[in-house]
Structure 1
Amino acid sequence: MEPSLALQKAIRVRLVAATAVTSLVPAANIVDRNGLPAVFPCILIGESQTVPGGDIARARHDVFVDLHIWQKETGLAFSKQVAGAIRDALKDANWTATGLHVADLYVTSSRFLRDPNGIHSHGVISLTANVVEAA
């Protein structure tokens, strides 16, 4: 399996299992979906990229994943609250991802944007993971 897909699935499992996240965003609204969100609030598992790590076996990779937080609000407070819950849900060092050993996963940035329509907030949490394909 492509490392970013395995990691994406593991991230969703972690978010759905975190009551701090699901008390803010229903588990059914944490999805991998294209286009603008249809329901609010939601977390869209967004773009990803896998970069080879350079080991001789080509089994190590750096995986980059974006999570998009959407809510109907004129400010950014809710999106920032969800971002904090996401950080807490992902910081545990023991990860299970099919076919991968996740050596490290961390938030590399959080951005919060006001949608030009004036009624939505949008947060983007960027993650980086160092993974090794499991034998």
Structure 2
Amino acid sequence: MMIEPSVSLQTALRATLISDPAVTALVQPERIRSGSTRPDRFACVMMGHAQTQYLGRASGDQHLARVTLDLHVWAIEGADTAKAIGFAVSRAVIAMP
């Protein structure tokens, strides 16, 4: 069964973020989720507005796609906290397999 690529990206990204100690030190794992509305609890990382652009086929019957996903960082403590969360998230994403 094939899963739409943006769903696979969201799943992999959430798994990466909730397993990263630097991220979970700043954001509770249950507050790292997908959604499109303002969260009711902070700090929070929300994944939303995923898009998949089909690019065609490659050798070996592979399909090529570009997947984009918006990440929104919410923090009530202020801009410094949001920046710290964003930095931890970016470090975790860079290290993704």
Instruction: Please indicate, yes or no, whether the TM-score normalized by the shorter chain is above 0.5.
Output: yes
Tell me how large the CA RMSD over aligned residues is: 1.5
Does 1:76 pair with 2:79? yes
**How many residues are matched?**
93
TM-score (norm 1): 0.64
User: Matches of 2:75 and 2:7 in 1, distance apart?
Assistant: 25
Query: Structure 1: where are the runs of 5+ without partners?
Result: 95-135
Does 1:15 pair with 2:3? no
Residues 32 and 17 of structure 1, relative CA distance in 2, 3 Å threshold:
same
Letter paired with 2:52? T
Identity %: 33
CA deviation profile, 1:36-87 (whole Å, cap 9, x unmatched): 11100000111110001233557110000011100113x4111111111011
Which aligned runs of 4 or more in structure 1 are off by greater than 4 angstroms?
A: none
Query: Structure 2: where are the runs of 5+ without partners?
Result: none
Q: How does 1:1-135 map to 2 (within 5 A)?
A: 1-55=3-57, 57=61, 59-73=63-77, 75-94=78-97
Structure with a larger share of its residues in strand = 1
